[in-house]
Amino acid sequence: MIPRTISLTGQTVHLVDVPASADEHRTPLVLLHGGAVDHRMWSPQLAAFPERRVIAPDARGHGDSSDADAPYRLADDVVAVLDALDIDRAVLAGVSMGGGTAVDIALEHPDRCAALVVSGTGTSEPIFTDRWSLDAFGAWRRAETEGDAEAWIEVFMRFTHGPYRDRGDVDPAVDALIERMARDTLGHLRLDDHGAPLPPTPPTPVTRTWERANRIQVPVLALNGALDGPDHRENGRRLAGVVPHGAYLEIDGAAHYANLEGPTEYTRAIRDFLRAHEL
């Protein structure tokens, strides 16, 4: 497991690079984290695929990667990492923001993607209509607008347990890791004259993702936590139904970070999916 920092045009990217065992040459696996967290959310999976190279980069403004000072797209950033590492095609697995980025790569750079595993979202343009999600996102926007870091953290942590549990129902180690990563992400932000954090520069969105999703020809696994919000799960279910080669699975007892709450089941689902498609 090798932490690396690579310098690209306009950015510095921190990543973890786990080589495959010497006698295996399977398609590399790239793990893309969710918003406000970083590569550490993939700790149970980093060494779980010895038959293939595993890459887990930090997105801009997350972990130890640099912030944005010019327009950017997250999908293009990942492709730039693949270029730098001489990886032609990879299996892309992402949670939430990372899942949307994986779909964007399949749409914008289809030759770089061998398969998709998408959790906690559908595309980078998720649709939210359920009351729990709307209330949470509304409170999150208010906290950001008001520069209230503690309120921002409190709302963000709701996604860890989801709408059907309380925070105390989550494994304390998982809860602590998510909060630690979120606080570290806040530490990246610039402060205003009053010491309040300023919102980060948002990525340029990829558009018409749902309209174009049926063009994705690679296998797609939508892999959600059964206790995630209704819309988070429905977005994944919709993606699996729109693409030509889609499947949908849920991990019992897990919410938004199913890979952390059900790591054995999550890893097994990915392994079975890749074996079924001979990747």
Interval 127-171: pLDDT, tens: 999 999 999 999 989 988 888 889 999 999 999 999 999 999 999
**What's the DSSP call for residue 204?**
P
Alpha carbon distance 279, 277 (integer Å): 6
- DSSP-derived 3-state class of residue 102: helix
Instruction: Tell me whether residue 153 is in a domain.
Output: yes
Helix axes 131-146, 149-161, angle to 10 degrees: 160
Same domain, 46 and 108: yes
Same domain, 147 and 241: no
Same domain, 123 and 211: yes
Whether pLDDT at 11 is above 70: yes
Measuring CA to CA, how many Å separate 31 from each of 10, 42, 98? Answer: 22, 7, 8
pTM: 0.96
Alpha carbon distance 156, 101 (integer Å): 20
Residue 197 banded pLDDT, cuts 50, 70, 90:
low
Whether pLDDT at 188 is above 90: no
Residue 115: give its domain's CATH number.
3.40.50.1820
Give the pLDDT confidence score for residue 147 in this predicted structure.
81
Give the pLDDT confidence score for residue 121 in this predicted structure.
98
Mean pLDDT value across the chain: 94
- Closest C-alpha to 232, from 253, 262, 258, 195: 258
Q: What is the residue range of 156's domain?
A: 131-186
- CA 92, 257, 158, 36 dihedral sign is negative
Report residue 267 as tokens.
């890893």
**φ, ψ (nearest 5 deg) of residue 133:** -65, -45
Same domain, 222 and 119: yes
pLDDT digits 0-9 by tens, 93-107: 999 999 999 999 999
Same domain, 99 and 142: no
Instruction: Tell me whether residue 182 is in a domain.
Output: yes
Give the pLDDT confidence score for residue 149 in this predicted structure.
87
What total number of domains does the chain contain? 2
Instruction: Tell me whether residue 199 is in a domain.
Output: no
Whether pLDDT at 198 is above 80: no
Same domain, 136 and 217: no
Last residue of a domain, one of 155, 186, 217: 186
- CA 18 to chain CA mean position, Å: 18
pLDDT digits 0-9 by tens, 56-102: 999 998 999 988 888 999 999 999 999 999 999 999 999 999 999 99
Same domain, 44 and 160: no
Same domain, 117 and 173: no
Same domain, 119 and 240: yes
Same domain, 26 and 104: yes
